[in-house]
Each structure stands twice: as structure tokens, then as C-alpha cells.
Structure 1
Amino acid sequence: MGDLVLKIYPSFEGDFQLSEAGLARPVSGAMIHNYTLSGSRPLQGSQIEIVNLNKTMVDVLVNISYLNGEKVSLMLHPDAPLALLPGETSKWQVVRTYTVLGVEHIWFGIDHLLFVLALIMITKGFKKIVKTITAFTLAHSITLSLAVLGYANLPGPPVEAVIALSIVFLASEMLKLHLGKPSLTAQKPWLVAFSFGLLHGFGFAGALTEVGLPQSEIPLALAFFNIGVELGQIVFVIAVSAFLYLLAYKKNWPEVIKKVPAYAIGTIAAFWTIERFIGFWS
């Protein structure tokens, strides 16, 4: 929540001893905490609670690595801040946890949503929108998979800066469209969506890598994180398309009003670009 760090922390029942392992660090709108836990009995079957979680509006992804190599992943929510710890994570737990994580990542990733919004507003026709969003999905799925599996890598700060710059580009394309000038995105939206989608995939991968994956189920977790991202994206596209369809009934909008979305998106993205480049070089 901006610079505010919520006062939430894990608590284990019984005689388990918990100690922080390094400083907490922010990443993609989340805060990562690492702890070391020790005890005289097995952890499986005991209870974990995130204290004060019920007073917040955030979720907590818990990743536990046992000394014998087993991994456990589960998601806790404000209305369910307690859970019993199982043994090794089941496939269903991985599917559920990482699908939810993917949906939340796209819904709270405002830069990704602004990019998709600009694409929708430039692209005319339902079939063309479907092809464009499919190209974006295919592209970021490729780079997300390659990055998480270790076959490709780009440093996070420059990637985030160029993602913001890609939104500035689309905002300028929106203005060209209003002025009746030739626009690459209007003519070949799928090409622009695919090209920048490759970059956005590295942004998704950075967040997922920081959060962590269950080592025994990496392909499954990766697949359903991607599915979660797509589900969240589909809901957003349907909602925006329906809203724009309703606005289309009023065809005599003043020209000044028609330009507001482009300037608003461009201004926000320009601010992000400057902020991220300054952060990268500082």
C-alpha cells in the first residue's frame, strides 16, 4: 500500500520458533518476507495463521521449503487467515493457488491493463480485437515460460521502464487515429500486440520468480499462473468492450472528449516511464 507496510506476520501453534531471515523486500505491488522456522515435532498437520490479515484487504501466498526438499504452497485471505499445513503440496493446491495468483496479478497490474485498454480502443471490430488479444497472449506466454524456466532473462528495471514506454507509444497511436493519420497499430494491431507482448511476458516472469514456484510442480504452477492471467485479462476485455459498446450509442461526442482517454493514458504512462528510468539509473 504505497510506502505503508502492513503489520501482518505468520504465527505457528505450539513450540515452533520463528525468526526473520533477511530484510523484507517489495516486488510488483507485493512485499516478500522470509523466515526460518524450527521445532521439535513435524510441521505437517499444525496450524499457520497470518496475524492481523483479517483487518486487511490483501492476500498472502505462503511457500514453505522443508529440509527434506518437500515444498508447500497455499494462499491465505482476509476471510480465511488460518490453515492446516499439509505435507507435500497437492496438484489441486498448486492449480488453485497459482490460478488465483495469475488473476490477481493482471487485475492489480495497472500498466498491463492500460496497455490492453489502449489496444482495445485502437482496434476496430470484434474479430480484430480477438486476434489482437490472442497475439498479445501468445507472445507474453512465450517469454513468461522461457524466463521462468531459465532459458531467457532480462533485468527487471529496464523491462518495467520499456513496458511503460510501450503504453506511451499506444497513446500516441490513439491520437493519430483521432486525427485520421496512418497508424501502425490501427493497420496491424496484432503485430504491435505480439511485439510488445514479448516484453510484457518478462514483466510477468519477474513477479512470478520473486514470489516463487513449488519446485516439484514448476510446469503445473507456471501453466496455471498463465491461465489465471488470461482469465483475468478476458474478464477485463469483456468489461471494457461492453462499456465501449454502450458509449457508442452516443455518436456525437465532442472531439475534445474523444481525445481525453489518449491523453490520460499517455500522461500516466509518461510519468511511469520517467519514474522507472530515473529509478533504473539512480
Structure 2
Amino acid sequence: MTCWRAALWILLGLVLWPTNARADELRPAYIEMTEQTPGQWSLLWKASANSRLGRSGVIKIPDNCVIEGERQREFAGSNILTRLALQCNGSLQGQTIGLKGLALSSTDALVRIAPMDSAMQTLRLTPDQPSAILATPSVISNVAATYTILGIEHILLGFDHLFFVLALVLLLKGGWLVAKTVTAFTVAHSLTLIGTTLGWLSLPSQPVEAVIALSIVFLAVEVVKARPDDLRLSERFPWIVAFLFGLLHGFGFAGALAEIGLPEGDVPLALLTFNLGVEIGQLTIVAIALAILHGLRQFKLSWVRPTKTATAYGIGIIATYWFIERMLA
């Protein structure tokens, strides 16, 4: 196989990537049970209206609870909200809560149980484990583990953030330069993620998502036009470019975190561990990309440039589609 054939396969794979993926693809289902008065609970269930789970999923409530009154359903943006009033006999400890239909979906469900007389419990249901037994929670470990995993999943499944980091790695030469640039991106998106989540900053989501897509197009063009004897602005000052675009990506992260929700009373911990999860996912992308490029250099140095170019074209095509789609939304 020639280097150009290899590059063509990479380009084809990226072009056929699911282009309906959005910047913040992570939109898990969400269940919250809050005790209003002793034994009286309110239940909120949120799921995407476009998903099979939103259309046909059913909450499995604890066995010692019964539904009172009529369930209320409403649309909120792209989500379906279902509200129930429950009467529960005794403690929920040892009871099971679940989501029928989750096993047939590709998403997770975040569950929060907030009793009046004990600490809140945060759980995560998955297609492989669509139900869970409620136990005496270790709040710190529960919240920290759940939001760290959500952060990792967000960077790995939020394809435009992934593509931006990948484009940075393709553009730059040298592990130290990549490390400094990614650090600048990290600092910037952490600032806007924290500021937006705490209500200090605000920008409308649609133009932010459009400019995020445009930032990926910009980097893809820079990768294609890069020449060893003529350093472009993004190569001379990559940390400045990464920092400026990182501020915008932070608003994207904040939008995803707002959709997921934050546990009352544990906002700092959830925010910290979500951001930590994002960084773990980000470093994973960088390590894998650098390892692949290093392997190519060792195996066939002449393949490196065509591979970078083909990958950049694929990323740029998808990002351009996202930009147009978000501008017209």
C-alpha cells in the first residue's frame, strides 16, 4: 500500500464520520428524586426527544414507592421532561431504581437521590447496568467518580473538542511545544467553564458553537498550509491561538455541564472533577496521536506528511459542515 493510499483511507474514514455529532454530544438521560416532605417525593426524568429512550423509556421506581396523581410531560428545548409525585414507605436505602429501555440505547443516565434527612446520592446508569441499588452514599467518592467519568466521556465523545486537540497535535512539532500549547488551551477553557457555570460569564450557545466549529476549520487549514521553511502565525505563537480558542471551547464545556446538571451542595467538587475528567480525556487524545505519528516516522517517514494532510482535510470538511449547520440552525 502506498502512502497516498493510506492517506486516502484516513480521509475516507473521517469524511464518513457521523457528521450529525454535535460539539457537546454528551447528553445523558437524567433522573432526580427529591424528598419534599417525609415520604413525599418528586421525580424528574429528562431525556432527549430525538432518542429512542426519550420516546419509549420507562422509569423503574423503588418497590416501596407508588405514583400519586397524573404524570406530567412537557418539552424543554430538545428534551422531554416527565414529572411524577411519589409516596414512598420508609427509606430508599436498599431499594432499586432503574430505567427500562436504557439497555437498547447508546447513552447513560445520571441519577440523583436527595432525601431530607441524609446526604444526596449520585449514581450513573449505563446500557450494561440499567439499574442500581441505593445504598448509604459516600458523597465525595460518588460525586467525584461520576463527574470525572462524565468529563472523560465528554472530551472523547464531544467530537469537535476532540478534533480541535487532534488538529493542534498535527500542526505542532515536538512534545514540549505540544504540551505548552495544550496547557494554554486547558487554562483558557477552565476559566470560561468555571466562570459560566458559576454565573459570572454568559454567551448565547448558537454563535459559540458555530465559532467552535470555525476554530477547527482554521486549524485544519493551518495544518494543510504548514511548510517547514515558512512558519505560520499559529506555529510561531501556538499557545496564544490555543488560549483564545480555548476560551470559546470552555463555553461549550459549560453548556454540556449545564445540560448534565450539578449537585446542589457539591458544585465545586463536581466542577473540579468534571474539568479533571476533561483533562484526562484530552491528554489521552494527545498521547495516542503523538504515538501514532511517532510510529509512522519510525515505520515510513514519507507517510507522515500525507497522513497529516489527509487527516486535516477530513477534519476540515466535517467542521465546515458543523459550522454551516449551526449558522442555519
TM-score, structure 1 as length reference: 0.88
Q: Identify the range of structure 1 (56-65 vs 236-245) with the bigger mean alpha-carbon deviation.
A: 56-65
Q: 1:98 to 1:258 in 2, by over 3 A?
A: closer
- On the 8 A contact 1:43/1:85 being kept in 2, the answer is no
- On the 8 A contact 1:71/1:216 being kept in 2, the answer is no
Secondary structure of 2:265 counterpart: helix
1:246-265 alignment runs, 5 A limit = 246-249=295-298, 250-253=300-303, 258-265=308-315
Q: 1:105 to 1:256 in 2, by over 3 A?
A: closer
| Structure 2 equivalent of residue 39 of structure 1 | 87
2:272 to 206, 218, 223: 223
1:1-282 alignment runs, 5 A limit = 3-6=50-53, 7-12=56-61, 13-17=63-67, 19-23=71-75, 25-26=77-78, 33-42=81-90, 44-45=92-93, 46-65=95-114, 71-86=120-135, 90-178=139-227, 181-249=230-298, 250-253=300-303, 258-279=308-329
Aligned-partner Cα distance in 1 for 2:90–2:77:
29
- On the 8 A contact 1:11/1:50 being kept in 2, the answer is yes
Instruction: Report the AA paired with residue 319 of structure 2.
Output: A
Secondary structure of 1:124 counterpart: coil
- On the 8 A contact 1:176/1:182 being kept in 2, the answer is no
Aligned-partner Cα distance in 2 for 1:116–1:76:
29
- 1:56 deviates by 3.5
Aligned-partner Cα distance in 1 for 2:308–2:124:
42
- On the 8 A contact 1:99/1:227 being kept in 2, the answer is yes
Q: Where does structure 2 lack aligned partners over 5 or more consecutive residues?
A: 1-17, 21-49
Aligned-partner Cα distance in 1 for 2:313–2:111:
40
Identity %: 43
- 1:71 deviates by 4.3
Aligned-partner Cα distance in 1 for 2:138–2:198:
20
Q: 1:258 to 1:122 in 2, by over 3 A?
A: closer
Aligned-partner Cα distance in 1 for 2:138–2:92:
11
Aligned-partner Cα distance in 2 for 1:157–1:256:
34
Secondary structure of 2:181 counterpart: helix
Instruction: Report the AA paired with residue 253 of structure 2.
Output: F
* Per-residue deviation, residues 177-196 of structure 1 (Å, max 9, x unmatched): 04854411111111111110
Secondary structure of 2:216 counterpart: helix
Aligned-partner Cα distance in 1 for 2:309–2:260:
39
- 1:264 deviates by 1.3
Q: Identify the range of structure 1 (16-25 vs 5-14) with the bigger mean alpha-carbon deviation.
A: 16-25
More strand by share: 2
Aligned-partner Cα distance in 2 for 1:218–1:4:
28
Secondary structure of 2:226 counterpart: helix
- On the 8 A contact 1:17/1:38 being kept in 2, the answer is yes
The two structures, once aligned, show a CA RMSD in angstroms of 2.6
- 1:107 deviates by 0.8
Q: Identify the range of structure 1 (1-10 vs 74-83) with the bigger mean alpha-carbon deviation.
A: 1-10
- On the 8 A contact 2:64/2:90 being kept in 1, the answer is no
Aligned-partner Cα distance in 2 for 1:87–1:275:
46
Aligned-partner Cα distance in 2 for 1:208–1:264:
28
- 1:97 deviates by 0.7
- 1:227 deviates by 0.5
TM-score, structure 2 as length reference: 0.76
Aligned-partner Cα distance in 1 for 2:72–2:137:
23
Instruction: Report the AA paired with residue 96 of structure 2.
Output: Q
- The structure with the larger Rg is 2
- 1:9 deviates by 2.9
Aligned-partner Cα distance in 1 for 2:248–2:152:
19
